[in-house]
Structure 1
Amino acid sequence: MHLSTNSLLPIGLMAGLCLLGCQPQTAPEEVDPFAQGQWIDLTYNFDEQTIYWPTANGFVLDTVFEGETENGYYYSAFQYCAAEHGGTHLDAPVHFAEGKQSMEQIPLDRLTGTAVVVDVSEKALADKDYLIGVADLQNWENEHGTIPEDAILLLRTGYGKFWPNKVDYMGTDEVGPEAVAKLHFPGLDPEAATWLTSERKIKAIGLDTPSIDYGQSVLFESHQILFQSNIPAFENVANLEALPVMGSYVVALPMKIKGGSGGPLRIVAFVQ
């Protein structure tokens, strides 16, 4: 059988493609996005020293079993009990806003993102009842630019250095309803909460005190204002002094309690 040159070309091309396809393929080089930097833990341990609101039950860890089993292997298991709002935790919007998001309804993109840190520690440490105001936020913007859209806003009061001393951290170590009036620690001025919801667009807010409202608040207005806009709050955040003013990436994942108004939070930040 005689094959023309034209008929040989497709055969040769197909053979070449086959050989090319049989060549070992080089896997794309894997790039670790977190290779250049470090993770900062912004979460306090949950233990017998964990700080809770004076009217809340504290953290209790009971041993179910710990030790060597009758079959010769080691085994440990525990059960814990605690209020939603204590230690490093998240306040869901439904905590102070009827019909707003509960714990399992908060979108993940509200709990992850780039953060900015507003440091008011000099003023707050000099005044236990300090209210972080619009002027503090505007002063920060005058130096660093407008708070970026969809940022996670972290307020550093400096009170993390007092943890877990309840008297220094929150004004009292007493418990019960009568102790609430003795609370003293800084928080966000309701006017600043209104400014953040009307003039800026943040994903979430957090700070290093027991509450987004200051200790002497009786109406918890900053909670109400922020939560009406479904802006969750992180409270008792640790190690804010380790974060830069801008550029860190925060991951804040709470216990996913269906219908919950709050819960334990593991919050970390990646810093390059």
Structure 2
Amino acid sequence: MIKPALTLIAALLASPASAQDLSKGTWVDLTHAFNSESVYWPTAKMFEHTEVFAGHTDGGYFYSSYDFASSEHGGTHLDAPVHFAEGANSSDKIPVEQLIGPGFVIDVTKQSADNVDYLVSATDIEAFEAEHGKIPEGAIVLLNTGRAGLYPDREIYMGTAARGQEAVADLHFPGLGLDGAKLLVERGIGAVGLDTPSIDFGQSTDFASHVELMTNNVAAFENVADMSALPTTGSMIIAMPMKIEGGSGGPLRIIAHLPGD
């Protein structure tokens, strides 16, 4: 499933001349910074960053150190397949090849603006392919709903700023429909990401798209930052999550490389 992504990476790194391509072009950070305002699921532990020491020591040099704690699932983060599929890959078991690959950005900003609960469908994906070609195996597919600009205002971004189980019923944001998830699995993609708190839309109660993707060991990236600078095709996506042994997810740094002179 991931051989085309490997081929692309190998081509880029095959010779010193090719490797220099990564020093050219543009790098785009698709990651929201982690802080006290980071968006987490209403039932998840929020991000905490606590100072251990920051200042000048008795030895005369400056030193700073902090503790952090949070749920695996919040801010820009990974959903490992084991999050919704027993026995599937945990964070540390996802092949690196699934986290690096050619980027395909499907723009559904208009649909999402018209319908906050919009589901990206197989029809949307097929329309994209009709214009840009079939999505290849090993691709990293990013769904641009246009919601990243609303982050981190939880009330607007996810439908409620309330905390606790009762708040889940008030969540509203777009997601990937089950038929869309099935088509992406058929395509053999490495991973899929979007700029909302969940691959499934806010009103989901069965998390069917999570289940479909993750029972097939397809990872997901959630709360991806602004994708507006990315081309529809032609970028390389590099998504490096914290490597938590046995983890169901974790904080993610995701970037894109855009080729150029």
Cα deviation code 1:229-258 (max 9, x no counterpart): 100000000121111000100110100000
Q: Equivalent of 2:146, from 149, 158, 161?
A: 158
Quick check: 1:183 aligned with 2:168?
Answer: no
Cα distance 1:263–1:196, how it changes in 2: closer, same or farther (>3 A)? Answer: same
Deviation at 1:120, TM superposition (A): 0.4
For residue 205 of structure 2, what is the amino acid of its counterpart? V
- TM-score with structure 1 setting the length: 0.88
The one-letter code of the counterpart of 1:79 is D
Q: Does structure 1 conserve the Cα–Cα contact (< 8 Å) formed by 2:146 and 2:226?
A: no
**1:193, 1:113 → 2: CA distance?**
18
Residue 261, structure 1, aligned to residue 257, structure 2: no
Which residue number corresponds to residue 105 of structure 1?
93
Runs of 4+ in 1 over 6 A off after TM superposition: none
Partner of 1:252: 239
Which sections of structure 1, spanning at least 5 residues, go unmatched? 1-27
Which residue of structure 1 aligns with residue 220 of structure 2? 233
The 1:31/1:240 distance shift into structure 2, 3 A limit, reads closer
The alpha-carbon distance between structure 1 residues 132 and 76, as it changes in their structure 2 partners (threshold 3 A), is: same
RMSD: 1.2
Shift of 1:29: 7.5
User: For 1:212-245, what per-residue CA distance to the aligned partner results, in whole angstroms no more than 9, with x for missing partners?
Assistant: 0000000100000000110000000012111100
- Aligned position for 1:146: 134
Alignment length, in residue pairs? 244
- Give % identity: 51
Task: Provide closer, same or farther for how the CA distance between residues 147 and 31 of structure 1 changes in structure 2, counting only shifts above 3 A.
Answer: closer
Q: Which residue of 2 aligns with 1:206?
A: 193
Structure 1 Cα separation of the partners of residues 18 and 45 of structure 2: 47
Residue number in structure 1 paired with 2:52? 64
Deviations 1:38-95 (A, max 9, x none): 1100100000110000001111000000101112111100000110000000000000
TM-score normalised over the length of structure 2:
0.91
For residue 211 of structure 2, the aligned residue among 224, 231, 246 is 224
Unaligned segments of structure 2, at least 5 residues: 1-15
